[in-house]
Amino acid sequence: MSIDLHPASTADFGAALRAWRHARGLSQLDLALASETSPRHVSFLETNRSRPSRDMVETLADALVLPRAARNGLLLAAGYAPLYPATPLDAAALAPFRAMLADLMARHAPYPALVVDRWWTILDANDAARALLGALHEGDGPMNVVRMLTESPLAAQAIVNLGEVLHEMLGRIRIEALEAAADPRCAAQIRALEEALARTPAPRSSTPRSPLVPLVLRTPTGEMRFFSAVAHFGTSEDVTVRDLRLELLVPADDATRAAFGA
């Protein structure tokens, strides 16, 4: 049974607190020690026999190392206003941030660059990225990196080392899922990647692993190899900004660099 960790009613505070505690692998005593309260008080909070103060909710969120969106959810569940803004990306307030992203992607040209949310849905991309990813995207819906890797029948044709790429993406999302524990979308993506990896030939475990795993694409002009650099924006208090990633694909060999230079 899945538990919604972002409830909106005060009756759900105890369930949300208990779910986050279980997700973090903590006992009531562990959480009590980390938040400098008593196990009895934690128990009363989880059964909704006590209503937490705003300061206590924030203390518990700190002890549980909750991401911004989850902290807002816990505050709402306790009957308090959210602490962290979640500004729409197209809002005027984020215009300077959007301009910075556009500048970074423009400066990275002619190499591919894309902006994704925490579930790897592509929100923006430069022309090079759209050209490369367009071969994997089907339908009219939003482009999503995980869905293209796991559902597109063209992935195996376009990506030479698909097994390595799936393995790398699976490890990355598993790490991100530790922060957003019990996020159903993260869990669904992990399952999809595991299933895709199970049906995709992968290098033998005895094969020495490279210190860097490139993305190797098969194109009409030959193979192109890229390394990936992913940037997070951790200095912002805004939920939207914190959840964004900027991925830059950098040529991994002279042949790929020359192909783009031409």
Look at residues 82, 31, 21, 30 and name the one whose alpha carbon lies nearest to residue 59. 31
- 252, 233 contact by CB (below 8 A): no
Over residues 47-67, the mean pLDDT reads: 95
Q: Distance between CA atoms of 120 and 172, rounded to whole angstroms?
A: 11
Q: Give the residue-averaged pLDDT of 41-56.
A: 95
- Specify the fold of 10-77: 434 Repressor (Amino-terminal Domain) (1.10.260)
pLDDT 10s digits, 223-262: 999 999 999 887 778 999 998 999 999 999 999 999 887 7
The Cα–Cα gap between 70 and 56 comes to 15
- For 92-261, CATH number out of 1.10.3720.10, 2.40.30.30, 3.60.40.10, 3.30.450.180 equals 3.30.450.180
Question: Is the pLDDT score of 61 beyond 60?
Answer: yes
**Do 92-261 and 10-77 fall under one CATH topology?**
no
Whether 36 shows a pLDDT value over 60: the answer reads yes
Q: Which of 18-22, 33-37, 141-145, 202-206 has the lowest mean pLDDT?
A: 202-206
Q: Confirm if 81 and 75 have CB atoms less than 8 A apart.
A: yes
**11: pLDDT confidence band, cut at 50, 70 and 90?**
low
Can you list the positions of beta strands (E) in the chain?
A: 113-116, 122-125, 215-219, 222-232, 245-251
Query: Which tens digit of pLDDT belongs to each residue from 92-127?
Result: 999 999 999 999 999 999 999 999 999 999 999 999
User: Where exactly are the structural domains of the chain?
Assistant: 10-77, 92-261
Residue 202: pLDDT over 70: no
- Look at residue 7 in the predicted model and tell me its pLDDT: 41
Query: C-alpha angle 142/146/147, rounded to 5°?
Result: 55
pLDDT score of 4 more than 90: no
pLDDT bracket for residue 221 (50, 70, 90): confident
